[in-house]
Homo-oligomer: A and B are copies of this chain.
Amino acid sequence: MDLANCYKKVRLRTEQICSPLQTEDYVVQPVVDVSPPKWHIGHVTWFFETFILKPYFMGYREFNPNYNYVFNSYYETVGNRVIRTDRGNLSRPTVADIYRYRAYVDEAMAKFLCQEPSAEVKELLILGFNHEEQHQELLLTDIKYILGHNPLFPAYDDSYVSPKIAGAESAGFIKMDEGVYEIGYSGEGFCFDNELNRHKVYLNAYEISPNLVTNAEYLEFIGSGGYHDFRHWHAEGWDWVNIHKVEAPLYWHLIDGEWHNYTYHGLKPLSLTDPVCHVSYFEAYAYASWKGLRLPTEFEWEEAATKFSWGKSWEWTESAYLPYPGFAKAPGAIGEYNGKFMVNQKVLRGASEVTSPGHSRITYRNFFQTHLRWQFTGIRLAR
């Protein structure tokens, strides 16, 4: 597919994701990590305007100079911005204004892409597509949070179909040999800077489960008092559990003695065979510890991932999010993409049911802070 069509396709999918929303759903920010959908759709547009149209499209006229202030996420290079906790306090620009902004930028991009761009711009374009795909995933997780924390528990979309993955694998653990392995992206296509350089690591012999932990298995942990026994938890995780009175994964509700969870179809009885989802790293670690097992490292995961199906939920690893040997930040604003977050976060591997098609890779590294749960985060065990 040519770049102009890729652009259209990516942009269209963002709008499709938002199509079931009411105007009001675009506006709110119930917790700092969740951005209002209207902010997402403005921000991904701002990305193309700021990094492609303004520097490379001669004669381009900025849609509205104030939008730089409103839609910059965290690029210090590009100037001041609305502080993150204020995103949900902005009623203007309206949703209609932002769709006009999208249309304006899309029109300019269509013109711009009539001619084959330079290699440098091409690279930025592909980064822009991947950036928008990441925000598509965030849109879906943020929408789930917004609706799932509303006392009316509205459904997002009754026609939403959760992607299927291959059925349960054999129960045994996969055995992996010790040795030197190569880790990181290699190939021609796109990857993020944090997947480079490909480099050698030494792995001890290990075993890894082909299956994700299920809701039924996680209920055993709850039933055995797992949330009330400090021995399974990190000290910091134990504080987190007690301060926030955590008793179950996010979106779980005990109603008249039966567990329900909030889904894109509304509040539903918990499916026991589904993988457990929306757990923090602290909970993933505690569950593994309670089982006498552990989480895999990201290197163990990457090496073994060809041997099982994945892609249902992001999987917490034991690895801290750190640069690979030879990692180098790009100069300028684009260099702020990943490197500055490489501290006090954990790596997640795989992909979730809301990851955009074609966006996942075996070397892809996602990362979140250890207490966060609003992503589709699950658990795979190793030993």
Give me the interface of A with B, judged by CB distance under 8 Å: 22-30, 38, 66, 69-70, 74, 76-77, 82, 86, 88-95, 146-147, 149-152, 154, 178, 180, 199-202, 204, 206, 230-231, 233-238, 281-282, 285, 294, 318-320, 322-323, 325-326, 335, 340-344, 370
Let me know if B69 and A151 touch, CB within 8 A. yes
In the bound complex, do residue A235 and residue B74 qualify as a contact, i.e. CB atoms below 8 Å apart?
yes
Of the candidates B25, B66, B236, which one forms a contact with A151 in the assembled complex, judged by CB atoms under 8 Å apart? B66
Contact check, B94 vs A22: say whether CB atoms are below 8 A apart.
yes
Residues in B neighbouring A206, C-beta threshold 8 A? 325
Number of copies: 4
Query: Is A24 a contact of B22 with CB atoms below 8 Å?
Result: no
> What's the nearest-Cβ distance from chain B to residue A280, in Å?
11
Measured CA separation A344–B237 after assembly (Å): 11
Q: A91-B25, A92-B154, A93-B152 are in contact. Are A234 and B70 (CB under 8 A)?
A: no
Task: Kindly list chain B residues whose C-beta atoms are within 8 Å of the C-beta of A77.
Answer: 231
Specify the main secondary structure of chain A where it touches its partner.
mixed
Query: With contacts A82-B151, A86-B30, A320-B320 known, is A24 near B92, CB below 8 A?
Result: yes
CB atoms of A28 and B91 under 8 A apart: yes
CA distance A115 to B184 in the complex (A): 58
With contacts A24-B27, A320-B320, A340-B234 taken as known, whether A151 is within 8 angstroms of B202 at the C-beta atoms is no
Residues A151 and B90 in contact in the complex (CB < 8 Å), given A234-B340, A343-B234, A343-B237: yes
Known A-B contacts A91-B24, A343-B370; the reply to A76 vs B29 at CB < 8 A is no
9 contacts across the A-B interface (CB closer than 8 A): A24-B95, A70-B152, A88-B88, A201-B201, A204-B326, A233-B340, A282-B343, A285-B343, A320-B322
**Minimum Cβ distance to chain B for residue A80 (Å):** 10
- Chain B residues near A149 (CB-CB < 8 A): 89
- Tell me if B151 and A91 are in contact (CB < 8 A): no
Residue of B nearest to A327 (CB): B294
The CA of A93 and the CA of B151, in the complex, are separated in Å by 10
Residues of chain B within 8 A (CB-CB) of A202 are: 180, 200-202
Also in contact, A29 and B343, with CB within 8 A (given A23-B24, A94-B22, A180-B180) = no
Cβ contact within 8 Å between A341 and B89: no
Scoring A38, A86, A92, A147 by chain B CB atoms within 10 A of each residue's CB, the highest score goes to A92
Query: Which residues of B have CB within 8 Å of A29?
Result: 89
* Minimum CB–CB distance for A300 against chain B, Å: 10
Chain B residue numbers with a CB within 8 Å of A30 are: 86, 89
By a CB distance below 8 angstroms, the chain B residues around A69 are 151
Q: In the complex the two chains form, is B234's CB within 8 Å of A341's CB?
A: yes
